[in-house]
């Protein structure tokens, strides 16, 4: 299957986090047809990670099979391919497959692919994949970097704020206690907060991504929640102390996900850049020294106009192939 044809097939399979079953089945069959050995790892609810390999891999290409919602089908023009996952990360996935296919045809072995579920929400796939025995020396993780080797990535801290109040008739607000007003005030204070950072990773940034609360417009709300994601440029504990100093006893805080910033291996002859997102790399420490590279721009990821350049896709295959061969000489 040609590169763009493969990407079309991948994009047109909906695979939001938690519902990666169909794309995993597709990849299992496709990779078997390539002649790879397949290890399927159950992640729960019928979802599975895929470790596909030839020989005893020293170098593994890895990315994730899930995407954010909503699903957007495939389309294209002369320059770009569009659709959910076009750059994050089904374009990456297609390039990685075609690179391994090319290397196998050239007689190479001791290489593999690791495709995990759940990266966009909680990284349960990567946590499980850390249990897979391997002798990998280098892990080449794929995310949109515009085909530049990432010199570092930020960490991530995701938490939920839960504000509680007392319900009452909205005509008599003095009888109630608005959880939404509490939550709004807390969020306002968080957005004004100057969070600690380190120059080598950039600025720590905060996004209030989901807000929920109340039942009806004529009821003082007794409960309100907000989901917050922080891209951390320093250790998580220092960020937590800042958050807790602002929230105090006005709401409960439930931490759901955290990873630390990561410095990454780079190679001469490749363009380098810092990346402001986090990846599964901190959870895959037993898979060798990490590198990060892939086609597509992170500025396009998760947007309604997600896209990837056809030229970057073709170059991505070349770069993965070249990187594997250079790393094999070092392994």
Length of the chain: 331
Distance CA 188, CA 291 (A): 37
* Rounded Cα–Cα distance for residues 136 and 241 (Å): 37
> How crowded is the C-beta side of 111, counted as CA atoms within 13 Å?
26
Query: Is-catalytic flag, 244?
Result: no
Q: In which order are the strands placed within the sheet that holds 80-82?
A: 75-76, 80-82, 307-309
Tokens of 263: 């410095």
- Which of 187, 197, 188 lies closest to 232, judged by CA? 197
User: Which entry of 119, 120, 146, 306 is annotated as an active-site residue?
Assistant: 119
CA angle 213, 215, 220 (to 5 degrees): 85
Let me know if 150 is exposed, middle or buried by CB neighbors in 10 A (0-12, 13-18, 19+): buried
The residues carrying an active-site annotation are 119
């Amino acid at each position: 299957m040609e590169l763009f044809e493969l990407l079309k097939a991948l994009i047109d399979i909906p695979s939001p986090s938690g519902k990666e079953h169909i794309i995993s089945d597709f990849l299992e069959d496709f990779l078997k047809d390539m002649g790879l050995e397949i290890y399927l790892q159950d992640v729960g609810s019928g979802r599975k990670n895929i470790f596909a390999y030839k020989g005893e891999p020293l170098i593994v290409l890895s990315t994730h099979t899930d995407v954010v919602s909503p699903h957007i089908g495939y389309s294209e023009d002369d320059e770009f391919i569009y659709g959910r996952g076009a750059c994050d990360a089904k374009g990456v996935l297609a390039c990685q497959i075609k690179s391994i296919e090319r290397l196998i045809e050239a007689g190479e072995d001791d290489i593999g692919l690791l495709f995990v579920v759940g990266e966009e929400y909680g990284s349960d796939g990567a946590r499980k994949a850390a249990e897979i025995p391997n002798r990998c020396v280098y892990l080449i993780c794929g995310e949109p970097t515009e085909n530049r080797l990432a010199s570092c990535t930020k960490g991530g801290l995701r938490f939920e704020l839960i504000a509680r109040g007392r319900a009452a008739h909205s005509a008599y607000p003095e009888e109630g206690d608005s959880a939404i007003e509490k939550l709004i005030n807390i969020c306002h204070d968080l957005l004004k907060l100057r969070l600690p950072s380190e120059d080598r990773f950039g600025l720590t940034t905060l996004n209030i991504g989901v807000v929920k609360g109340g039942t009806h417009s004529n009821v003082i709300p007794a409960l309100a929640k907000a989901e917050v994601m922080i891209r951390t440029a320093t250790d998580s504990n220092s960020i937590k102390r800042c958050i807790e100093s602002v929230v105090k006893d006005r709401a409960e805080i439930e931490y759901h996900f955290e990873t630390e910033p990561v410095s990454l291996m780079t190679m001469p002859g490749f363009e380098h850049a810092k990346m402001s997102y986090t990846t599964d790399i901190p959870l895959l420490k037993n898979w060798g020294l990490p590198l990060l590279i892939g086609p597509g721009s992170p500025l396009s990821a998760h947007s309604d106009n997600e896209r990837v350049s056809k030229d970057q896709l073709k170059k991505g295959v070349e770069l993965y192939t070249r990187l594997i061969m250079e790393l094999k000489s070092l392994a």
